[in-house]
Amino acid sequence: MLAAVPLASCGGGDDAVAVLPSPAAEQQCTQLATHAFSDAKLLKIAHHAAGAFVTPTNATIPAVPGFCQVSASLQPSTDSDIRVEVWLPAAGWNGKYLGLGNGGYGGTLDYNALAQGLARGYAVADTDMGTAPSTGTDGSPLINHPEKWLDYGYRSTHLMTLFAKDVASKYYAKSPAKSYFVGCSTGGGQGIHEATQFPEDYDGIVAGAPGNNRLGAHQSVLWSWAASKVSRESAVPAAKLTLLANSVVAACDSLDGVTDGIVSRPDKCTFNPAVLQCSGADNASCLTAAQVTTVNAIYAGPRNLLTGEQIFPGPLAGSEASWSLYTDAAAPGATVPFGAIFNWVFGKDWDWHTFDWGQDVITMQSSLGPMVNAVNPDVKAFRDRGGKLITFQGLADSLKPPGDLWRYLQNVETTTGQSSSFVRLFNVPGMGHCRGGSAPTMFGNDLTADSVAPGDPTRDLLTALEQWVEKGVAPERMVATQFSGSDPSTRTVVSTRPLCAAPLVAKYKGSGDPNAESSFTCAAPD
- Among candidates 72, 88, 367, which has minimal Cα distance to 215? 367
Domain boundaries, the chain: 1-176, 217-370
User: pLDDT digits over 377-390, tens only?
Assistant: 999 999 999 999 99
Confidence at 26, pLDDT banded by 50, 70, 90: confident
Task: Kindly report whether the global pTM for this prediction surpasses the value 0.85.
Answer: yes
User: Span 111-139, mean pLDDT?
Assistant: 97
Q: What's the distance, CA 512 to chain centroid?
A: 35
What is the H or E stretch that residue 382 is in?
Answer: helix 380-384
Predicted local distance difference test score (pLDDT) of residue 450: 78
The whole-number pLDDT of residue 328 equals: 78
Active-site annotation, residues = 185, 397, 433
- Which residues make Cβ contacts (< 8 Å) with residue 23, sequence separation at least 6? none
Report the alpha-carbon distance of residue 431 to residue 441 in Å, rounded.
6
Angle formed by the axes of helices 214-227 and 359-367, nearest 10°: 150
C-alpha span between 181 and 491 (Å, rounded): 30
Q: Which tens digits make up the pLDDT trace of 159-198?
A: 999 999 999 999 999 999 999 999 999 999 999 999 999 9
Q: Is residue 8 pLDDT above 90, yes or no?
A: no
**pLDDT class of 13 with cuts at 50, 70, 90:** very low
Distance between CA 443 and CA 343 in Å, rounded? 37
Please tell me the least confidently modeled range out of 279-293, 407-421, 436-450: 436-450
Compute the CA torsion angle 84, 90, 96, 97 (nearest 10 deg). Answer: 0
Share of the chain above pLDDT 70, in %: 94
Amino acid found at 517 = E
The answer to whether the CB of 171 falls within 8 A of the CB of 163 is: no
* Nearest CA-CA partner of 444 in 470, 471, 480: 480
Predicted confidence (pLDDT) per residue in 211-225, tens digit:
999 999 999 999 999
Each residue of 234-258: pLDDT tens digit?
999 999 999 999 999 999 999 999 9
Confidence of residue 4 (pLDDT cuts 50, 70, 90): very low
- pLDDT tens sequence across 33-88: 999 898 899 999 999 999 999 999 999 999 999 999 999 999 999 999 999 999 99
